[in-house]
């Protein structure tokens, strides 16, 4: 989930270093004969390998640990049942209520973060005078540094009472408040990645638009944003997979009842919240309830993995080479 991987934008234009690349390769070849250089290369490679191995390890643990769960709960009932009631006398393990909860949080977050994030990026990249730009982008990135537990209690103790004054029938724990706050949390990520993509659209492209008699908004909306689309969409997807994985806010503010509902004023239970609540509760290891968190974790992992792969693929296909 490295954001930088999916930024098409920051790639060096292919024509910049064309003449040198062959020469560089030759130079490198000679240097690598020295054993010291080789040791450095291996040490750096090992560092890079750690994160790859960790990811593979997590995937392996999730798969191995969810085997006992799927021995007792068939895939048919896991994907066919519409109830998720592991803590009740009558246990049901249908993933849909948790999945729907996650999707609702993500959708609400998207409604908040995508337009606001993109418009902030357009302002910072295209409109803000240099003096504003120098402090606005760092200020926005501070938002990304706020601990999510703070956002969680902000949702529960400030946003929910605020919404309660004009949304009727709002539960104390509800999807609406949590989803909106998750959206606020990912605005900086959307804005920052989109802004990088906008900045990567070459100046010559903007000048081409202006020289044809375009106004600023025409150049922005019909040249710059379309030109940056690959990077913007990749940023959107990465930010949304961050929203899907967000745990603390939903654990605090969204509730514990796994309702299969489309009503955002009700309490819901996203997958991450379920995992956190079970893992931190007094459920004994080796029980089916305990094992279920690995199965849910596996589903979560596959969703975010799929989104990140899609984002990378999208960038590769849509990336404009200037």
214 makes contact with another protein (CB under 8 A): yes
128 makes contact with another protein (CB under 8 A): no
Which CB, 36 or 213, lies closer to another protein? 213
Residue with tokens 């991987």, as numbered in its chain: 5
What six digits make up the tokens of 209? Answer: 């638009």
CA distance 90 to 268: 19
Q: Which of 73, 114, 223, 248 binds another protein (CB under 8 A)?
A: 223
CB of 134 to another protein, least distance (A): 13
Burial 151-162 (b: 16+ CB within 10 A, else e): bbebbbeebbee
CB of 203 to another protein, least distance (A): 9
127 makes contact with another protein (CB under 8 A): no
Residues binding another protein: what is the number (CB under 8 A)?
23
What's the sign of the alpha-carbon dihedral 166, 246, 149, 270? positive
Which CB, 3 or 202, lies closer to another protein? 202
Which CB, 106 or 125, lies closer to another protein? 125
316 makes contact with another protein (CB under 8 A): no
- Residue 209 Rama label (left phi>0; alpha psi -120 to 50; beta): alpha
Within 225-254, the residues that bind another protein by CB under 8 A are: 226-227
**DSSP string computed for 262-296:** S-TTS----HHHHHHHHHHTTPPTTSHHHHHHHHH
14 makes contact with another protein (CB under 8 A): no
CA distance 227 to 205: 9
Closest CA to 298 of 53, 58, 62: 62
Cα 140 from chain centre? 17
Residue with tokens 């010559």, as numbered in its chain: 204
CB of 205 to another protein, least distance (A): 6
CB of 215 to another protein, least distance (A): 6
Which CB, 70 or 318, lies closer to another protein? 318
Q: Decide: helix, strand or coil at residue 146.
A: coil
130 makes contact with another protein (CB under 8 A): yes
222 makes contact with another protein (CB under 8 A): yes
CB of 199 to another protein, least distance (A): 16
CA distance 86 to 93: 7
CA distance 88 to 191: 43
Q: Give the per-residue contact string, 79-118, with another protein (x = CB under 8 A; - = no).
A: ----------------------------------------
Backbone φ, ψ for residue 281 (5° rounding)? -90, -160
Residue with tokens 């103790």, as numbered in its chain: 157
133 makes contact with another protein (CB under 8 A): no
37 makes contact with another protein (CB under 8 A): no
Q: Give the per-residue contact string, 174-213, with another protein (x = CB under 8 A; - = no).
A: ----------------------------x-xxxxxxxxxx
56 makes contact with another protein (CB under 8 A): no
What's the sign of the alpha-carbon dihedral 277, 280, 281, 282? positive
136 makes contact with another protein (CB under 8 A): no
19 makes contact with another protein (CB under 8 A): no
Residues that bind another protein (CB under 8 A): 129-130, 202, 204-215, 218, 222-223, 226-227, 320-322
């Amino acid at each position: 989930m490295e954001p930088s991987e999916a930024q098409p934008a920051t790639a060096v234009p292919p024509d910049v270093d064309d003449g040198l690349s062959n020469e560089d390769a030759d130079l490198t070849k000679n240097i690598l004969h020295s054993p010291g250089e080789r040791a450095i290369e291996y040490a750096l490679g090992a560092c890079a390998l750690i994160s790859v191995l960790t990811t593979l390890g997590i995937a392996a643990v999730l798969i191995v640990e969810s085997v006992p769960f799927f021995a007792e709960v068939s895939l048919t009932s896991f994907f066919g049942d519409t109830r998720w009631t592991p803590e009740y006398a009558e246990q049901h393990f249908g993933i849909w209520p948790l999945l729907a909860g996650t999707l609702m949080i993500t959708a609400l977050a998207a409604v908040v973060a995508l337009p606001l994030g993109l418009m902030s990026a357009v302002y910072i990249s295209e409109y803000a005078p240099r003096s504003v730009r120098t402090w606005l982008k760092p200020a926005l990135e501070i938002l990304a540094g706020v601990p999510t537990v703070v956002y969680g209690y902000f949702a529960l103790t400030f946003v929910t009472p605020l919404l309660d004054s004009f949304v009727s029938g709002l539960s104390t724990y509800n999807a609406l408040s949590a989803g909106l706050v998750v959206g606020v949390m990912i605005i900086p990520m959307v804005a920052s990645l989109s802004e990088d993509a906008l900045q990567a659209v070459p100046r010559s492209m903007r000048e081409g638009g202006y020289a044809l008699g375009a106004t600023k908004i025409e150049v922005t909306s019909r040249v710059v944003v379309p030109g940056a689309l690959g990077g913007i969409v990749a940023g959107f997807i990465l930010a949304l997979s961050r929203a899907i994985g967000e745990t603390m806010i939903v654990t605090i503010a969204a509730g514990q009842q796994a309702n299969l509902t489309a009503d955002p004023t009700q309490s819901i239970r996203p997958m991450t919240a379920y995992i956190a609540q079970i893992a931190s509760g007094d459920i004994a290891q080796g029980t089916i309830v305990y094992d279920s968190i690995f199965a849910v974790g596996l589903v979560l992992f596959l969703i975010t993995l799929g989104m990140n792969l899609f984002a990378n693929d999208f960038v590769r296909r849509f990336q404009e080479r200037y």
